Structure 1
Amino acid sequence: MRDYINIVTSKELNHLMNRKLSVLYISRTGCSVCHALLPKIQHVMEDFPEVSFGHVTVDEYEEVAGELNIFTVPVVLIFSEGKELLREARFIRVDEFRVSLTKMTGIFEN
């Protein structure tokens, strides 16, 4: 499974978001859906080594909810150079996420 950058500060979050292409996974400690989905997202991310991958646990970095308008978890966000390109929340379809990420990496390769 692909490792991720554990984000706990605004500086780390901004650094991740401002990369060419990045994925951020947001979860909560007591969320069973979040814990079940994370390994699946990590598995998808193995196929995209060029994409930065970060994880935020809202319990450790509570301000992230306000900074990114997070109202529920889990959330998967895709950013490029500080701009949000995709947001999937609560019911995340892993296959659709993979397709979206494949399209975006294709666009940014050119």
Structure 2
Amino acid sequence: MKIEIRQYGSDTCAPCAAIRQKLEKWQQDHPEVTYRYLPIEEYLEEAAQKGILSVPTVIVTIDGAETARESGYFSLDELLFRLEKYMKMTEKTEMTIRTATMDNMDKFEHGDVVWNQMRLTF
């Protein structure tokens, strides 16, 4: 499982600086999570493509899929709490749903089952 936190901010934004400091400290305790701070002034095109209209904006992706996004005034503690809760759940149990595929009926006739995995996100 690959978790990435991207923060879009501005050097002239005091809340951005506070969130950046807190996320950098949090990431030190969670080295398995990738954290990137992206100054909006340098990443205008990327921010526009992602529909980012204000800073600070924090986006969490798990295995490349966006699972959480917060912008403006929000509780970073709540976001990190939800992320840590998800990380603990996936450590203790494998969070997959197994579903049989019907694309090869011969295998089902012989008692074999073909499995796909679908990851749950928070």
* In the alignment, structure 1 residue 56 sits paired with structure 2 residue 47: no
Deviation at 1:79, TM superposition (A): 0.2
Deviation at 1:34, TM superposition (A): 0.9
The structure 1 segments of at least 4 consecutive aligned residues displaced by more than 2 Å after TM superposition are 106-110
- Superposed CA RMSD: 1.7
Distance verdict in 2 for CA 1:63–1:34, change over 3 Å: same
C-alpha separation in 1, matches of 2:22 and 2:84 = 16
What residue ranges of structure 1 are gaps of 5+ in the alignment? Answer: 1-18
Match of 2:17 in 1: 35
C-alpha separation in 2, matches of 1:77 and 1:31 = 18
Deviation at 1:82, TM superposition (A): 1.8
Match of 1:94 in 2: 76
What residue ranges of structure 2 are gaps of 5+ in the alignment? Answer: 95-122
TM-score by length of 2: 0.67
Identify the structure with bigger relative contact order (alpha carbons < 8 Å, sequence gap 6+). Answer: 1
C-alpha separation in 2, matches of 1:64 and 1:104 = 27
Percent of aligned pairs sharing the same letter: 28
- In proportion to residue count, which structure has more strand? 2
C-alpha separation in 1, matches of 2:81 and 2:71 = 16
* In the alignment, structure 1 residue 24 sits paired with structure 2 residue 6: yes
TM-score by length of 1: 0.73
